[in-house]
Amino acid sequence: MSVLVVVECDGGEVKKSSLEVASYGSQVAQMLGTTATAVAVGEATEANLAKLGEQGITKVLHDAEPRLKDFVNGAYTKLIAAAAQKEDAKVIVLANSNIGASVGSRLSIRLQASIATNVVELPKTDGGSFTVKRGAFSGKAFADVKLDGDRKIIAVKKNSIEALHEAGKTAQVEAFSAQLTDADFADAPKQVVMQDQAGGILLPEADKVVSGGRGMKGPENWGLIEDLAKALGAATACSKPVSDVDWRPHHEHVGQTGITVSPNLYIACGISGAIQHLAGVNSSKVIVVINKDPEAPFFKAADYGIVGDVFDVLPKLTQAVKELN
């Protein structure tokens, strides 16, 4: 028996969220008195996979099939199921990403496992039961969920687990073949289109976010948001009304029906803080609100606030960050 961790890789590197997933998995393995094995999907170098030892991973299974570079639901599911069988995995840990949710939900049927997504803490295993805490009601609440059966799948929410870094430890990388055939790649993408990453920081992976609302008055003023984001090394985001009127692209919309983010720092500029927006951001560690209306509801959910004109305040903040650096 073991714990199996699914690590997503891109451009040869293990994604940051997967370092958290690996750390989660190795800690679960320790709780259960076993070891954690990783299986890699996406494009990964052996050297980077070996470094997963720093997150407590003992062994990494690596299928060198080149078509695994892009996400293919059928092939990924079969690969992970084969790895789970080989390792006799009782717990499988993945990222709560679009890939993790797509594959995890199929695996739960194939492996007859119970599953919890959006998980934010390590499990509790007292008295033979296995309980995880997960986000529910779009960030407005948490649920302790009991997972039944002797196989469990856990999808871990980004930025909710601190990644371990035990310098110098390496994992053994082992060639592994799931005997994938053409049929497993039937739903392979015809084309992959990546967003233009002007600032270089992707919103779902970002640990700092600068976000703008209707108070920014128009798309022509977004330079102020981008300047601060660039100085901080943050991603940019927006509220729903802003993406609804096409000031900003839909993939920047943060909120109940957009992306849920949980960065270390979320700076809201000219966003009043409707309950639907708060749902998408309230698991951020530190929230800063800049709004000229002192009655804006967002101030109640904030750690720091500035009552003032965003057009005035934003350049000052950008300047202060530059001076600090």
Partner 1 sequence: MKFLVCISNVPDTTTKITFTPDNKEFNKAGVQFVINPWDEYALTRAIELKEAQGGGTVTVLNVGEADTEPNIRKALAIGADDAIRVNAHPKDAFFVAQQIASIAKDGGYDVILMGKESIDYNGFQVHGMVGELLGVPTVAPAMKLDMSGNTATLEREIEGGKEIVEVNTPFVASCQQPMCEPRIPNMRGIMTARTKPLKVVEPTADAARTEVAAFALPPQKQGVKLIPAENAGELIKLLRNEAKVI
Task: Decide: is 183 part of the binding site for partner 1 (CB under 8 A).
Answer: no
135 near partner 1, rule: CB under 8 A: yes
Q: Which of 126, 197, 220, 295 binds partner 1 (CB under 8 A)?
A: 197
State yes or no: 62 annotated in a binding site: no
Residues in CB range of 81: below 8 A, 6 or more apart: 107, 110, 111
C-beta pairs of 139-142 under 8 Å, 24+ apart in sequence: 139/256, 139/260, 139/278, 139/279, 139/280, 139/281, 139/282, 139/283, 140/275, 140/279, 140/282
**138 assigned ligand-binding residue:** no
Q: Does residue 198 touch partner 1 according to CB under 8 A?
A: no
Is 161 marked within a binding site? no
Q: How far is the CB of 55 from partner 1 (least distance, A)?
A: 20
Query: Among 32-40, 60-68, 166-174, 285-293, which window interacts with partner 1 (CB under 8 A)?
Result: 285-293
Shortest spacing between CB 14 and partner 1, in angstroms:
14
Contact call for residue 13 and partner 1 (CB under 8 A): no
Q: Report residue 67 as tokens.
A: 């078509």
C-alpha span between 106 and 275 (Å, rounded): 33
Q: Rounded to the nearest 10 degrees, what angle do helices 222-232 and 310-324 cross at?
A: 20
Subset of 240-259 contacting partner 1 (CB under 8 A): 250-251, 253, 256-258
Give the whole-angstrom CA distance, residue 150 versus residue 170. 29
**Contact window for partner 1 (CB under 8 A) among 19-27, 66-74, 161-169, 217-225:** 66-74
Determine, following the binding rule CB under 8 A, whether residue 275 of this chain makes contact with partner 1. yes
| Residue 121 makes contact with partner 1 by CB under 8 A | no
DSSP, collapsed to helix, strand or coil, labels residue 122 as: coil
Using CB under 8 A as the binding rule, whether residue 280 contacts partner 1 is answered as no
- The answer to whether 316 contacts partner 1 (rule: CB under 8 A) is yes
Q: According to CB under 8 A, which residues from 77 to 116 bind partner 1?
A: 77, 97-99, 101-106, 108-110, 113-116
**Which of 1, 85, 88, 148 is in the footprint of partner 1 by CB under 8 A?**
148
Kindly provide the residue ranges of all beta strands, DSSP E only, lying in 45-124, ordered along the sequence.
59-62, 89-95, 114-119
If the CB atoms of residues 85 and 264 are measured against partner 1, the closer one turns out to be 264
306: Cβ contacts below 8 Å, ≥ 6 apart? 288, 289, 290, 313
Q: Does 193 bind partner 1 (CB under 8 A)?
A: yes
Q: Is 262 annotated as a binding residue?
A: no
273 is in an annotated binding site: yes
Beta carbon nearer to partner 1, 144 or 174 = 144
**Which residues lie below 8 Å from residue 230, measured CB to CB, with a gap of 6+?**
199
Helices 73-87 & 98-110 angle (0-180, nearest 10): 60
Write b or e for each residue in 314-323: b if 16 or more Cβ atoms lie within 10 A of its Cβ, otherwise e. beebbeebee
Question: Does 122 help bind partner 1 (rule: CB under 8 A)?
Answer: no
CA distance 76 to 42: 9
Q: Is 88 or 148 the residue whose CB approaches partner 1 more closely?
A: 148
Residue 276 assigned ligand-binding role:
yes
Least Å distance between CB 311 and partner 1? 11
When asked if residue 270 is in the footprint of partner 1 (CB under 8 A), the reply is: no
Residue 278 backbone dihedrals phi, psi, to 5 degrees: -55, -35
**Residues making up the binding site:** 214, 270-277, 291
